[in-house]
Amino acid sequence: MGKYVLRRLLQMVPVLIGTTFLIYVMVFALGDPTAGRCGERPCPANYVAKFKADYNLDEPLLVQYALYMGDVLRGDLGTNFFGNSVSEELIARWPTTAKLASIALVFEVVIGVSAGVLAGIRRGRFMDHLVTVSTLFVISIPVFVIGSVLQLVFGVRLGIFPVTATQGTWSQLILPGFVLGSISIAYVSRLTRTSLVENLRADYVRTAKAKGLKPSRAVGVHTLRNSLIPVVTFIGADFGGLLGGAIVTERIFNVNGVGGFLYRSIQQKDGVSVVGTVVCLVVVYLVVNLIVDLFYGVLDPRITHD
């Protein structure tokens, strides 16, 4: 296991460097890094000069990037033109977004896996068709449509849930969390179903039956454990989608989290905040993926026990 962890860590480093370098090149070398820093007007020449000096833009590209990454690693994502430190803005907001993402993940795992299992063991029957068709619809409806419609129905019309979640308490975040998780719920249940159906045909499930195990044990222990391996990988890969969805969800429900901050920064053309937040989210995404990968190693001993 130790060797596996080390290998995964070493594999992540080049991807992390490559990804951040790519983002850096795009924003600072290809784009105009001072665009939109001064509101709607172009920046005055002395501002541009100071900016270039601050960000070492006269140095060679690699040096610029190294200096920038040094700042990022020290937790300095720059200061936006309101004079606020982007890291501080993010630190103040991340607990809300973490809450939102956890609610979404719980929905994803609980509803998604159970629906997938139900469909998988009743393959070809009503439950299976119900899950297949309903997930198809959910997958097809973009998050912002689901969010707006649920807000209209459950918030505005029925009044069951609060319309907005400005304070970001757990109870306020239930509906936004469900919205954020909705599409992933559908993917998780489809993937669980497919994976379960495939595994139910596996030889070792036949062995489990031949051992005289209860059907619930043959499915619940022997099949499910194997079927969840791709599901776990999916949840990790999908975490990026979840972060993107958080921008939309937080906008709809007025949640004051990282996603809402990013949305407002885009609206206000606050470049330092946009780039800083996206870099930060990409890094979070990569780290979550690493954690999921390690968990994957625990689930599937074929990977870690060579």
Instruction: Please list every residue from 231 through 260 that binds other proteins, using CB under 8 A.
Output: 233-234, 237-238, 240-245, 247-248, 251-252, 254
Neighbours of 288 (CB within 10 A): 18
173-212: contacts with other proteins (CB under 8 A):
183, 191, 194, 197-198, 201-204, 206-212
**In contact, 292 and 132? CB cutoff 8 Å:** no
Measured from the CB atom, is 61 or 145 closer to other proteins?
A: 145
> Would you say 46 or 134 has its CB closer to other proteins?
134
Of 76-84, 87-95, 111-119, 142-150, the window that binds other proteins (rule: CB under 8 A) is 142-150
Structure tokens at 95: 């607990």
Using CB under 8 A as the binding rule, the residues of this chain from 41 to 70 that contact other proteins are none
Shortest Å distance, C-beta 6 to other proteins:
18
Smallest distance, other proteins to C-beta of residue 260, A:
11
Among 34, 36, 257, 276, binds other proteins (CB under 8 A): 36
> Both tokens of residue 163?
């319309």
Alpha helices by DSSP H, listed for the chain, are 2-24, 45-54, 61-73, 86-121, 126-140, 143-150, 174-200, 203-210, 215-217, 224-252, 258-267, 271-299, 301-304
Main-chain phi, psi angles of 143, to 5 degrees: -50, -40
Helix (H, G, I), strand (E, B) or coil at 305: coil
Question: In the 8-state DSSP scheme, what is residue 306?
Answer: -
Q: Does 98 bind other proteins (CB under 8 A)?
A: no
Question: CB of 304: closest distance to other proteins in angstroms?
Answer: 10
Residue 80 touches other proteins, criterion: CB under 8 A: no
Of 16, 221, 224, residue with least CA distance to 116: 224
CB of 44 to other proteins, least distance (A): 19
The region of 1-9, 48-56, 169-177, 277-285 touching other proteins under the rule CB under 8 A is 277-285
Q: Which is nearer to other proteins, 46 or 157 (CB)?
A: 157
| Among candidate residues 37, 103, 129, the one with its CA nearest the CA of residue 253 | 103
Nearer Cβ to other proteins (38/46): 38
Give min distance, CB of 219 to other proteins, in A: 13
Q: Does 291 bind other proteins (CB under 8 A)?
A: no
Q: How far is the CB of 144 from other proteins (least distance, A)?
A: 5
DSSP codes, 25-88? IIIIIIS-TTTTTTTTSPPPHHHHHHHHHHTTTTS-HHHHHHHHHHHHHTT---B-TTS-BHHH
How far is Cα 29 from Cα 257, in angstroms, rounded to an integer? 30
Closer to other proteins by Cβ: residue 46 or 266 = 266
Tokens of 262: 């990013």
294 in contact with other proteins (CB under 8 A): no
φ, ψ of residue 79 to 5 degrees: the values are: -120, 130
Which C-beta is closer to other proteins: that of 96 or that of 227? 227
Nearer of residues 116 and 271 to other proteins, judged by Cβ? 271
Interaction between residue 167 and other proteins (CB under 8 A): no
